[in-house]
Amino acid sequence: MASAAGDPLLPGEGSGGRRLGFLPSTIRLKTSIWSELGGAVGDLGTYIPIVLALSLASHLDLGTTLIFTALYNFSTGLLFGIPMPVQPMKSIAAVALSSAHLTVPQIMSAGLAVAAILLFLGATGLMTFIYRLLPLPVVRGVQLSQGLSFAFTAVKYIRYVQDFSRSSSASTAAARPLLGLDGLVLALAALLFIILATGSGDDEDVAGDGTVRRRRSCSRVPAALIVFALGLLLCFVRDPSILRGLRFGPAPLRIVKITWDDFKIGFWEGAVPQLPLSVLNSVIAVCKLSSDLFPERAELSPARVSVSVGLMNFVGCWFGAMPCCHGAGGLAGQYRFGGRSGASVVFLAVGKLALGLLFGNSFVTILGQFPIGILGVMLLFSGIELAMASRDMGTKEESFVMLICAGVSLTGSSAALGFISGIVLFLLLRLRDVDYRGLIGGWGAGRRQTGNKVGDGDEDA
């Protein structure tokens, strides 16, 4: 666990915060305000489809989810000091939108069960033990599989018409039209604009004399923010009548009534498949990715990240807010588009809170018209940024373990299955390195030496 001097939950000095000394150092700007605003919308390519689908198909209260996730964003930005994402629990959402079709109390039960387990693992220190025990190639395999999964989903968003009333990733057979306000040309234009503005995502150049300098493009052009603002504008152009569907005022808070049957169904159907993903992607992969992206900072404590996820859901799930977690994909997306401090997610929190308080659940009428192709473009960059974290494998053996882990995760649609495969493969490769002849020879020599000592003792007697 990180020492107190470098603890991620304690204020640290940031280069961009000297002018705003009254702010906690965790939310002082590290670059420019435009860069942090761009990072604020970096993970919405994942957030919006899932929350929209659950609002349409499972009657999740969007206003309540917006308010509570805003509070989560503000708290994690203030505490961790990096653009720590808050995303819906994807496996629970997938089950809720499948043929099982979980009810809202069952969805909340699943979130509470996962929260209780993560809170226990974090509070007891077991999560830190697991984090230190895992080999790096296996962690990289999990990150690679999640990143590629996001990228594959993003390509489907761009190429095919979506039906979020059934699923957050339900592509229809119809190809996306070439022209139109949600056409293929619009998505490709957004893709090209982001590439021209941000390049490969590096915000540093190494000059000929070895000095490091910042790229001008990444800090001055909030590409993701511009593209997202365009998407919001097109919502009203596509269907001006959505204004009539808006209702001012927040949704009333109600405590969700959960029966024992709801809890049993939520636990077995939702929590069990979600738990491996939460441990691997929401805690372990997030901590590792944060150390990759922010090497100047002390490494995040897995125990505290685990406790953070647990506490978030123990508050929000009782009121019907979508079960949420942190995610390596969201962190990669927010970093890719300029987020460098906790200010990024604090800006996002302000936006969510304003929408939740002003429009409540009626805001779903606007999100329903958001161009899905643009969401696909934003999700694509998030997935690629996460997948590129695996490029540091230095040997063929490490790459072999990573690729097997990622391949099994993708083909089996299970991070847990890929993780187990990676661990087994890693242990088998370690067994091959054992010098069995040396062990047998040493064991035999030891027995002969023991026998000689016994014989000498008999002669002395």
The pLDDT tens digits for 306-321 are 999 999 999 999 999 9
Query: What's the pTM value of the predicted model, to 2 decimals?
Result: 0.85
For residue 442, the model assigns a pLDDT of 64
Q: Which of 391, 453, 394, 425 is nearest to 138 (CA)?
A: 425
Q: Which residues pair with 205 in a beta bridge?
A: 213
Q: Is the pLDDT of residue 436 over 70?
A: no
Tell me: the pLDDT tens digits for 145-178?
999 999 999 999 999 998 887 776 666 778 999 9
Q: Is the pLDDT of residue 98 over 90?
A: no
Amino acid at 100: A
CA distances to 113, 448, 451, 454, 455 from 460, rounded to whole Å, are 70, 18, 14, 10, 9
Q: Is 176 left (phi over 0), alpha (psi -120 to 50) or beta?
A: beta
Tell me: the pLDDT tens digits for 328-365?
999 999 999 999 999 999 999 999 999 999 999 999 99
Task: Band the pLDDT of 254: cuts 50, 70, 90.
Answer: very high
Spatial separation of the C-alpha atoms in residues 251 and 248, rounded to whole Å: 9
CA distances to 2, 85, 209, 378 from 301, rounded to whole Å, are 6, 16, 36, 29
For residue 272, the model assigns a pLDDT of 92
Q: Is the pLDDT of residue 206 over 90?
A: no
Tell me: the pLDDT tens digits for 231-243?
999 999 999 999 8
Q: Is the pLDDT of residue 447 over 70?
A: no
Backbone φ and ψ for 142, nearest 5 degrees, come out as: -65, -45
Spatial separation of the C-alpha atoms in residues 419 and 409, rounded to whole Å: 7
Tell me: the pLDDT tens digits for 357-412?
999 999 999 999 999 999 999 999 999 999 998 998 989 999 999 999 999 999 86
**Geometric angle at alpha carbon 198, from 193 and 200, rounded to 5°:** 110
